[in-house]
Amino acid sequence: MQDEKGKIESELTEFFAGLDAGLKSLRKVRSIYDEQVAFEFNVTSFFWPDENKTSEILAFFLNPKESHGQKTTFLKLFVKQFKLQKLPPDLLEDIGSIEVACEDPTAEKRRIDITIQFGNDKYIIGIENKIGTAPDQPNQIHDYVKELRGRTKGDDKRWTLFYLTPNGDNPSTVSITEEFRKELITNENQNLRNINYREEIIGLLEQFEMSCKAENVRAFLKDFRQYLKKKHIGETFMGENNFVTDYLRDHPNILKHADALRDAVESTKKECFNTFWIKVAEYLKKQSIIINPTAMFFFSWGNLEALVEHHNSPFGPSGELTKVIIFYNQKIDPPFYIAINLSIERNELPPQLKSKVDRLEEKLKKMQFGEVRGNVGLWWWCGAVPLPHINFNDGDELCKILNDKDGSIMQNRAIEAAEKITKYINVTESLWREVSIAEPKSPASPA
């Protein structure tokens, strides 16, 4: 048994020593030429597009009237890529009659992420872009189908709805029944289509790039494509993933330890994650702010909410602002926020109340918390600010934490997070009372 253990240790040591040396060499070469090439520069790093912004960018390129100047080039590539044979070719040539919209309102008071209308609804393309944090809403896709059918007078040859996700997933059965989904996918018009970023959209953007005649637009397309590859495939701008993959292919024997290594890495991440939030909870408790650290746990998919309780809070289940949460989703950047939830989606609030919420968020933005986001994806937030955190997916950072014998890195980061949570809660509560007091009273009814 000891000999077997020693053999495994020797194999792993040899593999990772070689891998580490190769990565160091790659980084050294990159650093030498970085001044000329700027390997890591990417314009999207200034704003890291979320779901809404990504939809806006896609709509921009699909709109032949936009300032990219390429007219219908990108739209025609999209139509060709997804084989929209039912779309009459002459409609593609009539640029004046093509209308592209984001957040297109429906009769059911929903919003389709992107719509492309040809010739006054002679044909309509709808795109539901699901890359953010929000799950499908009840009957969401069903209602979109109803909307597109209504606009095309019930002619199913005149519309297509794309459900766009990172990996081509199906919409949930909450959003559309399985029976209805299969009917729409398998009928002769293929009215409902699943498409993905991983292969189809990223590949389409590469076609856009090759077909684009404007150098500045082509440069942005390249950066946007690289951003999507990093977000949805995990590729770095430097190409280290390709190097690691090639190195692994040259040392296939290491794969027999892959499961054990993966489990060990995940276990270490979870341990660090739990320790971090236990420390945050300890510091918050001193300020009479309570979070349950067991509600925060490490996982690589979906969303997580941990309720934040504060005895002095003006928010509650009967009010417009219902609760304070810590929100976690590993697939957004950054993954941690403290957020104030609205009772319903912001645009469905009565005008006076919506104005009150908007004024609160404007005041929060002036408090220099860093980025303040409201209504991220379809999540009903008045406002949310990112939290200092441990990057549990950064190997270099995890190494520093594990080698930090006195635990000061973890402790200092936890204190930073707790202080920001405390400040945000106190300021938000104070501002909410301020805008509530300043809220003009409705005129009294005549006697």
Helices 351-365 and 408-438, axial angle in degrees (round to 10): 140
Q: Centre a 10 Å sphere on the Cβ of residue 54 and count the other Cβ atoms it contains.
A: 23
Instruction: Identify the domain boundary among 195, 223, 250.
Output: 250
- Tell whether 23 and 57 lie within a shared domain: no
**Is 71 part of a structural domain of the chain?**
yes
Give me the number of domains the chain comprises: 3
- Tell whether 351 and 377 lie within a shared domain: yes
- Tell whether 269 and 184 lie within a shared domain: no
- The pLDDT of residue 230 is 76
SS3 state at 26:
helix
**Is 416 part of a structural domain of the chain?**
yes
- Sign of the alpha-carbon dihedral angle for 420, 421, 425, 426: negative
- Tell whether 295 and 319 lie within a shared domain: yes
**Is 394 part of a structural domain of the chain?**
yes
Paired tokens of 308: 């934040």
Residue found by looking up tokens 């996918």 in the block: 185
**Is 429 part of a structural domain of the chain?**
yes
- The pLDDT of residue 48 is 61
- The pLDDT of residue 105 is 92
**Is 255 part of a structural domain of the chain?**
no
Instruction: Identify the domain boundary among 250, 281, 302.
Output: 250
CB 113 within 8 A of CB 101: no
Sequence-ordered list of residues with C-beta below 8 angstroms from that of 284, at least 6 positions apart, any chain = 290, 291, 418, 421, 422
**Is 447 part of a structural domain of the chain?**
no
- Tell whether 72 and 105 lie within a shared domain: yes
- The pLDDT of residue 15 is 52
CB 161 within 8 A of CB 110: no
Residue closest to 339 by CA, chosen among 420, 250, 271:
420
**Is 46 part of a structural domain of the chain?**
no
**Is 387 part of a structural domain of the chain?**
yes
- Tell whether 427 and 278 lie within a shared domain: yes
Question: Reduced to 3 DSSP states, what percent helix, strand and coil does the chain have, rounded to the nearest 5?
Answer: 50, 15, 35
161: phi then psi, degrees, rounded to nearest 5: -115, 120
Q: For 209-267, write each residue's pLDDT tens digit.
A: 999 999 999 989 988 988 888 776 665 545 555 656 665 666 666 666 667 667 777 88
Q: Which residues pair with 196 in a beta bridge?
A: 165
- Tell whether 244 and 378 lie within a shared domain: no
373: phi then psi, degrees, rounded to nearest 5: -115, 140
Instruction: Identify the domain boundary among 221, 250, 279.
Output: 250
- Give CA–CA dist 322/218, Å, rounded: 45
Successive 10-residue mean pLDDT values, the chain, 447 residues: 58 57 54 47 62 90 95 95 91 94 91 94 94 76 95 95 91 92 92 92 93 92 85 59 61 65 77 89 92 76 80 72 83 79 75 81 75 55 84 79 87 92 88 74 46
SS3 state at 321:
strand
- Give CA–CA dist 165/301, Å, rounded: 13
- Tell whether 266 and 152 lie within a shared domain: no
Q: Which residues pair with 111 in a beta bridge?
A: 105
- Tell whether 131 and 22 lie within a shared domain: no
- The pLDDT of residue 97 is 94
- Tell whether 195 and 304 lie within a shared domain: no
- Tell whether 70 and 195 lie within a shared domain: yes
Cis peptide before 64 (omega within 30 of 0): no
- The pLDDT of residue 419 is 93
- Tell whether 275 and 222 lie within a shared domain: no
Paired tokens of 404: 């930090």
Structural domain boundaries enclosing 75:
51-232
